[in-house]
Amino acid sequence: MRPTVHDIAAAAGVSLATVDRVLNQRPGVRRITREKVETAIREIGYVRDVAAANLAKGRIYPLVFILPASDNSFMHGLHAEIGEAMIRSPSERTSIRTEEVAAFDPAALVTALEKLADERPAGIALVATDAPEVVAAVDKLVSDGIPVVTLVSDLTGSRRHHYAGVDNIAAGRTAARLLGRFLGDAKGEVAVLAGSMLVRDHRERLQGFAALMAQEFPKLSILPVLEGRDDPELAHKLVADVLSKHERVIGVYSLGAGNRGLVRALKARASSRPLTVVAHELTVHTRAALIDGTIDAILNQNAGHEVRSAIRVLKAKADGLAVIDAQERIRLDIFLKDNLP
């Protein structure tokens, strides 16, 4: 059995109230008595249940989510999941708020992080823009004792505590295998629509996609990446333009957001040549496009799981507790029109 506070009190010859004051570092205990309690704690091997102690004290965890200001359906969904977490706040002892920064803007993200350093929340979750100055700002927060979790897009090389998101290289390879298998022995070009190469999740998806395409589907060549900045209007323009100029395009991989614009461009094209399309994130718009055959497959990450994971990890890190890796692994789902939830 694990030692309890009753065992400490018995070993030190003090009251439970005295043990409680020592454990919670409250005044009113003589130095010699405090030393006796601390000695008893060491000798009997008492390990404090920090989470239970914080529950007993009614501790509230102020958490901040930093998201890019973006008019895309996935980010709207992420906002909605954080809103659900806010509703659960009383039972989860959290106080959650969101801050928006300009999308793909490292300087704006650094400014937001530096302001939070003075505020000292219990934890920060951010959709990371991968830049040296962002790494430095995150490392400074961690060195100051503030837990940091990256959300959706990682910041490898930083000291962040955890990444709540899918394996993006594996996601890109999965997209390549789906597209290659769907196209069979066909020979042609593949257009790739990204948000920005400034974010690691998009770079890693492209890396995985290009590697598997070259390895297993050499008849398919990848066109230069279109960077739509997750903007539906820009995505529409870029995709419409590439489809009009490249007659050999037979496949499209959308590895970011901006899929509303992609769908518009696909439906508006004058050519009757068939296109095979794989995209990311199951939203209202991609669901409809999957059902009507405009998109062939969707790779999806569960935004709700990511938000819940970020909250669990930030609370655990704030308490100095271990994270259960298996519980926090984010699954990549593959949806066709036949298995939509």
- Whether 50 shows a pLDDT value over 60: the answer reads no
> What local confidence, expressed as pLDDT, does residue 214 receive?
97
CATH number of the CATH domain containing 33 = 1.10.260.40
Residues 246 and 214 in one domain: yes
Whether residue 337 lies inside any domain: the answer is no
pLDDT above 90: percentage of residues in the chain: 78
Whether residue 318 lies inside any domain: the answer is yes
126 pLDDT band (50/70/90 cuts)? very high
- Whether 25 shows a pLDDT value over 80: the answer reads no
Q: pTM (2 decimals)? A: 0.82
116 pLDDT band (50/70/90 cuts)? very high
> What local confidence, expressed as pLDDT, does residue 209 receive?
98
**Which residues does 192 contact at the CB level (< 8 Å), separation at least 6?**
206, 209, 222, 223, 225, 226, 252, 253, 254, 255
- DSSP codes, 58-96: T--EEEEEEEEE---HHHHHHHHHHHHHHHTHHHHTEEE
Whether residue 183 lies inside any domain: the answer is yes
Kind and range of the H or E element at 112? helix 106-119
Residues 324 and 296 in one domain: no
Residues 175 and 200 in one domain: yes
User: Which of the residue ranges 45-54, 111-120, 145-154, 296-305 would you say has the lowest mean pLDDT?
Assistant: 45-54
Residues 310 and 291 in one domain: no
> What local confidence, expressed as pLDDT, does residue 23 receive?
77
- Whether 56 shows a pLDDT value over 60: the answer reads no
Q: Which domain holds residue 161?
A: 59-165+303-328
- Whether 58 shows a pLDDT value over 70: the answer reads no
Residues 245 and 207 in one domain: yes
Q: Within 13 A of 79's CA, how many CA atoms are on the CB side?
A: 13
Residues 179 and 283 in one domain: yes
- Whether 91 shows a pLDDT value over 90: the answer reads no
- DSSP codes, 11-23: HHT--HHHHHHHH
Residues 184 and 137 in one domain: no
CATH number of the CATH domain containing 287 = 3.40.50.2300
> What local confidence, expressed as pLDDT, does residue 111 receive?
97
> What local confidence, expressed as pLDDT, does residue 2 receive?
74
Whether residue 31 lies inside any domain: the answer is yes
Give the Å distances, CA to CA, from 160 to 124, 155, 166, 198, 253: 10, 7, 16, 18, 30
Residues 297 and 311 in one domain: no
Return contacts of 302-305, CB within 8 angstroms, 24+ apart. 302/330, 302/331, 302/333, 303/74, 303/77, 303/78, 303/80, 303/81, 303/152, 304/81, 304/84, 305/330, 305/331
Over residues 70-85, the pLDDT tens digits come to 888 899 999 999 999 9
> What local confidence, expressed as pLDDT, does residue 92 receive?
86
Mean pLDDT, residues 113-142 taken together: 96
* Cβ(206)–Cβ(255) below 8 Å: yes
Residues 110 and 203 in one domain: no
Over residues 170-195, the pLDDT tens digits come to 999 999 999 999 999 999 999 999 99
CA dist 9 and 16 (Å) reads 6
> What local confidence, expressed as pLDDT, does residue 334 receive?
98
CA 334 to chain centre: 18
Over residues 231-288, the pLDDT tens digits come to 999 999 999 999 999 999 999 999 998 899 999 999 998 677 789 999 999 999 999 9
Residues 190 and 254 in one domain: yes
Q: Which two tokens stand for residue 337?
A: 């029109």
- Whether 95 shows a pLDDT value over 70: the answer reads yes
